[in-house]
A and B are shown apart, each in its own frame.
Chain A
């Protein structure tokens, strides 16, 4: 078996092509600039925006794009079209059309993040926009337009104690496996434009450190199955942990059938909320080894992804961070130890120490059977003066070598991939239907990028579009295990919560290397149902409807 695996590694990892991207945003009509509204007053919110989503809002099988956007900082109002959130319809021919106004999703307030999923199980993806002063729940009417149902749904985000908190990321998951998606909203800090004091000397102002602001609790909203939600932040135990939340991602780390929540926190320890069932959560990041990096310091964690990078069936965690911290990769070893800081062994410590990262995603960009790592990078604006380097950065792609190590292949990833900017949000989807995973990235005050994956000699692939019946319609939380003819087994799960403030396609995707047929597929739905498929042909999207049995 060991020899077989080694041969498989040799045949796939070494022979497949170099990961390459080509920016096609302008050519395809995906023209968007994220405006943070900065006007020289250095308000903290200006550093943080930029969530982006890949979603199929019109069910045509082609992934559309939604960008969140900032506002005028003092008033926190979208004072003009330059601040509108934007929805671009994928025309399924390599082009996009801006349908924001028609869809009714221009938004209001200073928006930060997006979480896309079908919360009411009507077969159309809905949109939650998290923001500093306004949150929105847009119900998809199914006719290309959306209805603002925020107040009716009880998702304004106003906390009984703190009022409207600064929502910075959000994600949909089925906390109690009842077939209806619940909403987790990550909160950053207590912030008020009118009371925020300046930092730095007069004439040389700069953004204050996060330590200058008090933390705030995260929020959990239970889906009442009637279009409304109940705030269960306190009773669930979520509000008991005060952090400075950033990205939020979901996976069942301990394989008990309940989806757990990882929250990346800025300069305080990360949280792992272990789902104990019955809408009760216990914060176990310290006990499970995923709270702090190997240095023992709480790093400025930003975005995260919660997937299995080493194909052992256990979801691992990757977290982006600030310069000098290095990004962190936690490997899940299963019980009793669970997570181990694997950053040094993976070759990521020195390679990422000089980067500042925001969104991230663990996807198999060359379809060789091992998930690679994408990082959206940029230092804080103006910090470059102190750093002695420019603040804008190019993004990074690290190839999974299949032996537990990653190689930085960014410099070989194509000319358009080298362009530096203030990259923040990133969403992952196969926008052109060629089986290779593309990336849309937002950039502060500069054009967004749509990196088309043009990796030559990419491997075979398969993607599962799950349709829940007893489980939530999108099948979020479903775990998929594919076994190849050479007995290798690969794992992934359905989630739209990826990276920082962003939302990716719900499809469960696998790179298969040289294998063109899958011997066996096992799907464990959130309902507990297990479904199996045999001898499945590769290189296509397979729709799987949850069986009634």
Chain B
């Protein structure tokens, strides 16, 4: 009997290693299947439940992730990884206030835990407390200059805020420690372009775009389109915009840029159709309407132009009058 139990434990260890390997190779679905099988044997293994939660999170199944992390917490009430996971899953579901409450429990348990502090920074950022979030990342990086993840998260936060020069520096530091981070490379390429290091940024962007191993990052591709557009390379900009629409056909900003590049290439009618598609995809957003207005004006379609102008005026007036935070 003991021998059978030992054998089953040994097999479980082997299976867990295999599952972890799948996770590391980003085969999240397969890894999750393995963890579920292991959980059938031991349903209250908190570390397995946390791993399952991470798989679900990576697969975009945020409610499933939250459930797994909560089960882990139920099994191990002091589990910081479970609390961090719950917080991240709640953030992904657009519940920043709930996330903050969850991570505050983790803070009480261990205020110095670096994962907990990183998660706290995330919740602060999601709650529009960007300065506070940045302050945490700054402290994490200054207390451990080799903390590549915190450098990356600091860079990501600065990147999202449009502080491209600072972001580029943080991301470069992260990459110097941990070069295998495509997201950091991608953000950094965008930062280089945005901060006027055009040649370097173009070379990096091109390399990442042409590398099939790089996940197709819309920001990177659209920044590249913009770079081509801004340097009056109309044909290349149009070709790249078409590629973006190829992998993000329903994304309004991709459609918008295709319309812009068509306009730059002098294809007014096609630009008009694309801009209309962009507006259909995101009727509540003003940017595509501005382009459409511009195109209608060029086409002499005054009543269509007026309709867009009226919408934009109403939108902007509403913002100016009532939207003071």
Within A349-383, which residues are at the interface with B (CB < 8 Å)?
349-350, 353-354
Q: Report yes or no: B324 in contact with A289, Cβ–Cβ below 8 A.
A: no
Are B290 and A337 within 8 A (Cβ)?
no
* Cα A344 to Cα B227 with chains together (Å): 11
Q: Does A286 contact B309, Cβ atoms closer than 8 Å? A: yes
Contact partners of B162 in chain A: CB under 8 A: 323-324
Whether the pair B320, A386 counts as a contact (CB closer than 8 A) is no
Q: Is the CB of B321 within 8 A of A350?
A: no
Binds A, one of B33-41, B97-105, B178-186, B193-201: B193-201
Expressed in whole angstroms, the minimum distance between the Cβ of B264 and any Cβ of chain A is: 8
> Which one, B129, B294, B306, B316, contacts A269 given CB within 8 A?
B316
Q: Knowing A350-B230, A388-B165 are in contact, say whether A286-B325 is a contact too (CB < 8 A).
A: no
Alpha-carbon distance A350/B289, docked complex (angstroms): 24
Q: Which of A177-216 contact B (CB under 8 A)?
A: 190, 200-201, 204, 206, 209, 211-215
CA distance A344 to B132 in the complex (A): 37
B134 A269 Cβ-Cβ under 8 A: no
Counting chain B CB atoms within 10 Å of each CB, the highest count among A209, A337, A350 belongs to: A350
Main secondary structure of the interface of B (DSSP, over half): helix
Q: A211-B324, A337-B298 are in contact. Are A296 and B286 (CB under 8 A)?
A: yes
In the assembled complex, B164 has its CB within 8 A of some CB on chain A: yes
Q: Which of B158, B168, B316 has the most CB of A within 10 A?
A: B316
The minimal Cβ–Cβ distance linking B135 to chain A, given in whole angstroms, is 6
The interface residues of chain A lying within 8 Å CB-to-CB of B291 are 296
- Which chain A residues border B169 with CB–CB below 8 Å? 388
**What total of chain B residues lie within 8 Å of the partner, measured CB to CB?**
50
Asked if B195 and A354 make an inter-chain contact with CB atoms under 8 angstroms apart, the answer reads yes
Q: A345 interface residue, CB < 8 Å from B?
A: yes
Beta-carbon contact of B324 and A212 below 8 Å: yes
> For residue A212, which residues in chain B have a CB less than 8 angstroms away from its CB?
324-325
Whether a CB of chain B sits under 8 angstroms from the CB of A389 is: yes
B305 close to A287 (CB less than 8 A): yes
- Interface contact A386-B230, CB-CB below 8 Å: no
Which B residue sits closest to A189, measured CB to CB?
A: B324
Closest to A338 in B: B297
Q: How far is the CA of A297 from the CA of B290 in the complex (A)?
A: 8
Q: In the complex, which residues of chain A have a beta carbon less than 8 angstroms from the beta carbon of B129?
A: 201
Interface string of A236-248 (1 = CB under 8 A from B): 0000011110000
Query: Is B312 part of the binding interface, using a Cβ–Cβ cutoff of 8 Å?
Result: yes
In the assembly, what is the distance between CA of A387 and CA of B61, in Å?
Answer: 35
> Would you call A297 and B287 a contact (CB within 8 A)?
yes
Q: Name the interface size band of chain A.
A: 35 or more
Q: Is A292 an interface residue (CB 8 A)?
A: yes
Chain B residue nearest to A350 (CB atoms) is: B230
With a cutoff of 8 Å between Cβ atoms, the chain B residues found around residue A80 in the complex are: none
Does the CB pair A244–B320 fall under 8 Å?
Answer: yes
| Nearest chain B residue, comparing its CB with the CB of A295 | B287
When the two chains form their complex, are residues B166 and A214 in contact, meaning their CB atoms are under 8 A apart? no
Q: Are A388 and B229 CB-contacts (below 8 A) given A269-B316, A286-B312?
A: no
The 8 Å CB contact of A353, one of B194, B229, B256, is: B194
Task: Determine whether the beta carbon of A344 is less than 8 Å from that of B163.
Answer: no
Kindly list chain B residues whose C-beta atoms are within 8 Å of the C-beta of A337: 297-298
B232: interface (CB < 8 Å): yes
* Chain A residue, CB-CB nearest to B136: A201
Interface residues of B in 114-172 (CB under 8 A from A): 129, 131-132, 134-135, 158, 161-169
Residues B194 and A211 in contact, CB atoms below 8 Å apart? no
Is residue A175 contacting chain B, with contact meaning CB distance below 8 A?
Answer: no
User: Which A residues are CB-close (under 8 A) to B323?
Assistant: 211
In chain B, what residue has the closest Cβ to A385? Answer: B166
Any chain A CB within 8 A of the CB of B313?
yes
Contact of A344 among B229, B294, B300, B317 (CB under 8 A): B229
* Chain A residues closer than 8 Å to B238, beta-carbon distance: none
A387 touches B163 (CB 8 A): yes
Residue interface bits B253-291, CB-to-A below 8 A is 1, else 0: 000100010000000000000000000000000111111
CB-CB under 8 A from B134, the residues of chain A are 386
A190 to chain B, nearest CB (A): 8
- Per the bound structure, the CA–CA distance linking A268 and B319 in Å amounts to 8
Determine if A388 and B163 form an interchain contact, defined as CB atoms under 8 angstroms apart: yes
Q: A268-B320, A296-B288, A388-B165 are in contact. Are A286 and B313 (CB under 8 A)?
A: yes
Q: Does A298 contact B (CB under 8 A)?
A: yes
Interface centre among A215, A286, A349 (most CB of B within 10 A): A286
Interface contact A345-B316, CB-CB below 8 Å? no
A-chain residues with CB within 8 Å of residue B297 when the two chains form the complex = 287, 289, 336-337
Q: In angstroms, how far is the closest chain B Cβ from the Cβ of A380?
A: 12
Report Cα–Cα, A354/B131, bound state, in Å. Answer: 21
Distance A324 CA – B194 CA, assembled complex (angstroms): 7
Tell me if B210 counts as interface (CB < 8 A to partner A): no
A336–B301 Cα distance when bound, in Å, is: 11
Chain B residue numbers with a CB within 8 Å of A386 are 134, 158, 161, 163, 166
A-B contact pairs, 17 of them (CB 8 A): A213-B324, A215-B320, A269-B316, A296-B286, A297-B286, A297-B287, A324-B164, A336-B300, A340-B294, A353-B194, A354-B165, A354-B195, A386-B134, A386-B166, A387-B163, A388-B158, A388-B167
Residues of A that sit less than 8 Å from B by CB: 190, 200-201, 204, 206, 209, 211-215, 241-244, 268-269, 283, 286-287, 289, 291-292, 294-298, 323-324, 336-337, 340-341, 344-345, 349-350, 353-354, 386-389
* Beyond A212-B325, A350-B230, 14 extra complex contacts between A and B, CB < 8 Å: A200-B131, A201-B129, A211-B323, A214-B321, A242-B320, A242-B321, A269-B313, A296-B287, A324-B162, A336-B302, A341-B294, A354-B196, A387-B165, A388-B168
Residues of B at the A interface (CB closer than 8 Å) are: 129, 131-132, 134-135, 158, 161-169, 194-196, 198, 229-232, 256, 260, 286-291, 293-294, 297-298, 300, 302, 305-306, 309, 312-313, 316-317, 319-321, 323-325
Q: Which 4 A-B pairs have the closest CB atoms?
A: A388-B166, A296-B287, A296-B290, A215-B320
